[in-house]
């Protein structure tokens, strides 16, 4: 069992905190700028809560689960205690990374046993601790270096964040003509299921892949917003390379 300080009370902190206590680790304290959020999560984890990092308790290590832009500032305030952050892209001279490769929403259940965790630290004792903790909550744990983690996060942005934005664009196009986004879901699910067994590149379909030039031109003309026209052209060109 490890005694852990959880810094942050958002989506990632929520899921990690619950999984850690389920694996018999102890969350001693939840620290967040929002008193309400810290108190709410701390109650679920049977932990103390605080809004000031200067009042951090002693523990085996601190887990920083805040937005990327705040990680450096937070880490600089942690003295005499090992720490790790949960970011896919931030690299620090000290501490470690404890990166869960998943999208999180505190209101949606997520089985962390199936979530890949990527761990690294320059200090071997900290790295070993993080690996053991990760393996206690997930069956998919990877020891990777900083460059690999940053590339992995970049790939995740393309695969997850950008693709979800494509869904949002598609939904907007349908709404303009009173069509239901539900109609697209079987297609989306089938496309996602294919990559369970095949390389994405090998199962690419559509007008760009077939080089249906007239269809491509017609679809560009259907788009009213110049930004969407540019997105369509860029992705079409990328597929055709």
- Averaged pLDDT, 75-103: 93
CA gap 44, 154 in Å, rounded: 33
Computed from CA positions of residues 117, 153, 84, 106, in that sequence, does the dihedral angle turn out positive or negative?
A: negative
What pLDDT was estimated at residue 107? 83
CA distances from 96 to 55, 118, 127 (A): 22, 10, 7
Q: Which run of H or of E encompasses 143?
A: strand 141-143
Order of strands, sheet of 117-121, starting from the edge strand that comes earlier in the sequence: 48-50, 26-31, 3-7, 61-64, 83-85, 96-100, 117-121, 141-143
- Averaged pLDDT, 87-99: 93
* Residue 166: pLDDT band with limits 50, 70, 90: very high
Is 143 in contact with 122 (CB distance < 8 Å)? Answer: no
The pair phi, psi for residue 169, each rounded to 5°, is: -65, -45
Q: Give the mean pLDDT of the chain.
A: 95
Q: Which run of H or of E encompasses 3?
A: strand 3-7
Q: Domain 3-144 belongs to what architecture?
A: 3-Layer(aba) Sandwich (3.40)
Residue labelled with tokens 């009042």: 55
Written out in words, the top-level CATH class of the domain with range 149-240 is mainly alpha
- Averaged pLDDT, 183-190: 96
What pLDDT was estimated at residue 105? 85
CA gap 6, 63 in Å, rounded: 5
CA gap 21, 30 in Å, rounded: 13
By the 10 Å C-beta count (0-12 exposed, 13-18 middle, 19+ buried), 235 is classed as middle
Least confident segment among 39-48, 52-61, 91-100, 104-113:
104-113
The rounded percent of the chain whose pLDDT value lies above 90 is 93
- Averaged pLDDT, 54-69: 95
Beta strands at 83-85 and 96-100: parallel, antiparallel or unpaired: parallel
Residue 106 has pLDDT above 90, yes or no: no
Q: Please report, for the chain, the start and end positions of each structural domain, with discontinuous segments joined by +.
A: 3-144, 149-240
Residue 108 has pLDDT above 90, yes or no: no
């Amino acid at each position: 069992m490890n005694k852990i300080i959880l810094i942050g009370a958002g989506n990632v902190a929520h899921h990690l905190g619950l999984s850690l206590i389920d694996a018999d680790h102890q969350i001693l304290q939840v620290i967040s700028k929002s008193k309400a959020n810290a108190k709410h999560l701390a109650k679920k984890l049977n932990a103390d809560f605080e809004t000031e990092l200067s009042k951090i308790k002693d523990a085996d290590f601190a887990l920083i689960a805040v937005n990327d832009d705040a990680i450096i500032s937070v880490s600089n305030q942690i003295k005499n205690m090992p720490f790790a952050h949960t970011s896919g892209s931030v690299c620090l001279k000290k501490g470690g990374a404890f990166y869960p490769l998943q999208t999180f929403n505190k209101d949606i259940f997520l089985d962390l046993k199936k979530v890949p965790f990527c761990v690294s630290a320059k200090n071997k004792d900290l790295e070993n601790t993080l690996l053991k903790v990760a393996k206690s909550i997930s069956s998919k744990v990877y020891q990777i270096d900083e460059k690999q983690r940053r590339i992995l996060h970049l790939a995740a942005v393309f695969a997850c964040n950008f693709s979800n934005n494509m869904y949002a664009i598609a939904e907007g196009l349908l709404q303009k003509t009173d069509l239901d986004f539900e109609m697209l879901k079987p297609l989306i699910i089938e496309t996602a299921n294919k990559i369970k067994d095949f390389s994405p590149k090998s199962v690419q379909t559509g007008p760009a892949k077939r080089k249906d030039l007239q269809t491509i031109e017609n679809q560009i003309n259907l788009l009213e917003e110049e930004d969407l026209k540019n997105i369509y052209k860029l992705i079409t060109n990328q597929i055709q390379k």
